[in-house]
């Protein structure tokens, strides 16, 4: 597997194929074809520019490998990063297709967080001083992350959540700049552990904590569910764009994924058991979005035209109320209903500016299915005690 194939597969599984772009040729004018980047990850306000270099014909001579590294990684790839930034600045929009073949127009003006990454796969003879290079600072492109392939894989697979990778890259940049002042050398595992442990700066011994990291993906991973989202979408606004729902979850840290997974598991269990309890909700102020999870009220139809109408109406109403109570501009809702031994999993996104609604206030005073929301700190990652 080539480095480009490896990266496309890794990014597609973590950032979802909807937001991963590996075929990035575009034609700004007839007869001209340019490439935005070797790989591009686009998550609304967040984007990653990735350039890749792989040693195709490695030598046993360390000096030959050092020359390759300096030329391919620190010169050519850096220049390509600069080109990518220039393309985003010069063109109002760039049309590229994601890993599902869906075409989007990417506008650099819409990107708030832009990370620059160089991935490389060197030979065993590559000198250690080259492997220790973890970033490059360009006068025009700024801070550029430099990753050896296995290190990048460890980062993405350990963090596993798009927003966590973005936050990690911010932490990594700050850490590398500060550690360079004291000439403190760390490995990638130190930075990962430092980030997960909320250390102000990683140390050469931080990586030891990774032995205590708990693998609880069964309680916090939404990726398997999100990958099937397109088959279960109900959009009140009629847009049919399930990627907007995916994007709202991609903006959340792992702690919020844990909350969503916990509530989703509960309502699935309730629906299968014919039980009904208060719908669950939480809102995430940083993105201005509320999230609602509920089983279908028992006794209502769930199949056929009548069932589809009841599910759509129930989902829309509950999501609207949760959005209103959260005072947010967006609301994502999930409704689970039983169908024999199986269940329906319906999703929707509602989006419009929040404003006071006297009629809805009066209705909620008479009866409100939702309980009060309390501020709560939830960890995204856990470590076992020593």
Which pLDDT value is given to residue 235? 57
Which pLDDT value is given to residue 90? 92
Beta bridge partner(s), residue 281: 292
Which pLDDT value is given to residue 376? 66
Which pLDDT value is given to residue 370? 78
Residue 176 CA to chain centroid, in angstroms?
23
pLDDT at 311 over 70: yes
Query: How confident is the model over 41-78, as pLDDT tens digits?
Result: 999 999 999 999 999 999 999 999 999 999 999 999 99
d(CA 82, CA 90): 12
- List the single range of 130-139, 249-258, 265-274, 369-378 with lowest mean pLDDT: 369-378
d(CA 19, CA 15): 6
Helix (H) or strand (E) holding 358: helix 358-366
pLDDT band at 33 (very low <50, low <70, confident <90, very high): confident
Name the percent of the chain in helix, strand, coil, to the closest 5: 45, 20, 35
d(CA 64, CA 5): 26
d(CA 33, CA 31): 7
- The one-character DSSP state at 279 is P
d(CA 384, CA 213): 7
Query: How confident is the model over 127-178, as pLDDT tens digits?
Result: 999 999 999 999 999 999 999 999 999 999 999 999 999 999 999 999 999 9
Which pLDDT value is given to residue 230? 60
Which pLDDT value is given to residue 231? 56
Which pLDDT value is given to residue 78? 98
CB 45 within 8 A of CB 10: no
pLDDT band at 226 (very low <50, low <70, confident <90, very high): confident
DSSP letter for each residue of 19-83: GEE-B-EE-SSTT--EES-SEEEEETTEEEEEEEEE-SS--S-HHHHHHHIIIIIIIIIHHHHHH
Say how many C-beta atoms besides its own lie within 10 A of residue 14's C-beta.
20
For the chain, which domains are there?
A: 3-213 (3.40.91), 219-366 (no CATH)
pLDDT at 373 over 80: no
DSSP letter for each residue of 316-352: HHHHHHHHHHHT-SEEEEEEEEEETTEEEEEEEEEE-
pLDDT at 87 over 60: yes
Q: Above pLDDT 90, what percent of the chain?
A: 71
d(CA 15, CA 195): 19
Query: How confident is the model over 227-239, as pLDDT tens digits?
Result: 766 656 555 554 5
Which pLDDT value is given to residue 236? 54
pLDDT band at 111 (very low <50, low <70, confident <90, very high): very high
Helix (H) or strand (E) holding 316: helix 304-326
Q: Calculate mean pLDDT across residues 265-281.
A: 89
Which pLDDT value is given to residue 32? 78
CB 135 within 8 A of CB 151: no
Per the listing, tokens 């199949």 go with: 303
pLDDT band at 326 (very low <50, low <70, confident <90, very high): very high
């Amino acid at each position: 597997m080539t480095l480009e194939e490896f990266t496309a597969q890794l990014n597609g599984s973590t950032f979802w194929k909807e937001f991963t772009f590996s075929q990035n040729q575009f034609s700004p004018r007839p007869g001209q074809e340019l490439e935005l980047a070797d790989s591009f990850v686009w998550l609304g306000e967040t984007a990653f520019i990735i350039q890749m270099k792989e040693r195709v014909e490695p030598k046993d001579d360390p000096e030959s490998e050092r020359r390759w590294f300096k030329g391919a990684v620190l010169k050519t790839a850096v220049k390509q990063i600069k080109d990518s930034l220039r393309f985003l600045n010069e063109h109002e929009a760039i049309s590229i297709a994601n890993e599902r073949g869906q075409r989007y127009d990417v506008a650099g003006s819409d990107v708030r967080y832009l990370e620059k990454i160089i991935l490389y796969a060197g030979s065993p003879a590559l000198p250690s001083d080259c492997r220790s290079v973890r970033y490059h600072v360009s006068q025009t492109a700024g801070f550029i992350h430099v990753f050896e392939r296995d290190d990048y894989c460890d980062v993405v697979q350990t963090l596993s959540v798009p927003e966590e990778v973005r936050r990690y890259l911010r932490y990594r940049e700050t850490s590398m700049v500060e550690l360079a002042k004291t000439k403190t050398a760390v490995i990638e595992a130190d930075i990962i552990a430092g980030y997960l442990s909320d250390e102000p700066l990683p140390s050469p011994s931080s990586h030891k904590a990774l032995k205590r990291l708990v693998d609880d993906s069964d309680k916090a991973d939404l990726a398997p569910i999100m990958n099937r989202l397109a088959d279960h979408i109900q959009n009140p606004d009629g847009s049919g764009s399930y990627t907007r729902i995916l994007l709202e979850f991609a903006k959340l840290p792992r702690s919020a994924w844990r909350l969503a997974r916990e509530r989703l598991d509960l309502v699935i269990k309730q629906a299968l058991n014919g039980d009904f309890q208060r719908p669950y909700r939480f809102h995430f102020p940083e993105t201005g979005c509320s999230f609602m999870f509920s089983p279908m009220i028992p006794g209502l139809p769930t199949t056929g035209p009548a069932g589809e109408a009841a599910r759509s109406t129930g989902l829309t109403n509950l999501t609207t109320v949760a959005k209103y109570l959260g005072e947010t501009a967006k609301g994502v809702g999930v409704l689970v209903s039983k169908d024999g031994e199986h269940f329906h999993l319906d999703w929707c996104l509602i989006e419009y500016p929040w404003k006071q609604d006297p009629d809805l206030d009066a209705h909620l005073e008479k009866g409100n299915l939702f309980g009060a929301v309390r501020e709560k700190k939830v960890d995204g990652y856990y470590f076992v005690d020593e």
